Structure 1
Amino acid sequence: MRPLVRLDPATVWGIAVFVLLIAAGLYYVKWNPYYHRAFTAAHTHSIGTSIVSGTAAAPPAVGWQAAWSYAVAYFKAVWQAIILGLLIGAGVQVLVPRTWMSRLVGQSGFASTAIAGFAAVPSMMCTCCAAPAAVGLARSGASRGATLAYWLGNPMLNPATMIFMGFVLGWNWVVLRIVVGAALVLGVAHWAGGLVAEKAHPAHPGPPTIAPQVE
């Protein structure tokens, strides 16, 4: 990985604003709510009522009303995270230099994939909320492998999900989640990124061979 270039004061301020935006947004939308929910999961071994059935004993009958109710309930649960994902996706393009991002996570090697994958751990978003941020990374110069690692790392390496899973299902499932998640985020994302790069820049076949003519 090439060393990062020296940044001017305006760029430093832009990066500082971007980091502050991420920290404040994640604290309000993810970190603080999940912190309190972890205590609930530890005491009750549950994370609350179902988003489908609520407090009812059985899920609602299949139909348009059930679909609409679920869509409304899901939107109420994720709309703040979606807005945060949009802000992150826009902020990384506006406030962070493209050359800086390209040198950090824009290479086709494993290092860029690993950096993006571990950067997804504190985000703790679902795939739909992380999608705008992943698009912003790609447009800022991140490689395909790094972009995919960040997008998959949000749900797969979500520490809050692992804590809830440990209290509700058992810690053996957390170990399985970590192993499978790391393999998917680091291994599959890196392989897929290399596959895309190979298709975009195929190896040169070399000069054509000319068969000798027989007189």
Structure 2
Amino acid sequence: MLVADDEAMVRAGVRAVLARDPGIEVVAEAADGHEAVGAAREHRPAVALVDIQMPRLDGIAAAARIYRDLPDTAVIMLTTFGEDRFIAQALKAGASGFLLKADDPRELLSGVHAVAAGGAYLSPRVAARVISGLRAGRLPDGVPSRHPMDRLTGRERAVLALLGAGWSNAEIAARLNLVEGTVKAHVSAVLGKLGMRNRVEAAIAAWEAGIVGRDR
């Protein structure tokens, strides 16, 4: 994976956390947005962890370029900020996850594995922020504010609950005793019925509705 942050100590700390997991390999680092895009194009990592506040090219713009040029690279936004506008902008840029630097290190590992497997991931603190904004009607364009769950079948709600926790299609299939193709069909149905563009918006809807299943 790629770690992009303009602070060397933050990059070192992130690498130290990631080094605890033998299933994660850091193949490149970047100190600004332009370097992040270049490193992603060169190494084509499965996951790019990108800080929002970086010089030359900010993380949101870098994430958008990575998402456009490398659709197989999932982007997780990492920041010290929790402002609503950053969350909405990250979603618009195509981010698959959002973490705060103050999160528990276990959230970082969970987030990386979730998005690498094709899922979406919001740390609990980010999810709480999003839900608060949704209820207050504060979030800008990009995050729908209401998602009528009564449009979904029971099976679709179960899929959405696990999707909201960042589970991949394969993990959901194993949990619900379905084939992966059926899960993909359910996810597509959920997105269509709720007017969602991607799995991250669906994850937010699951958190807002209070149906997220976090046990593994």
State the TM-score, normalized to the length of structure 1.
0.29
Counting strand residues as a fraction of each chain, which structure ranks higher?
2
Q: Which has the bigger relative contact order, CA under 8 A and spacing at least 6?
A: 1
Counting helix residues as a fraction of each chain, which structure ranks higher?
1
State the TM-score, normalized to the length of structure 2.
0.29
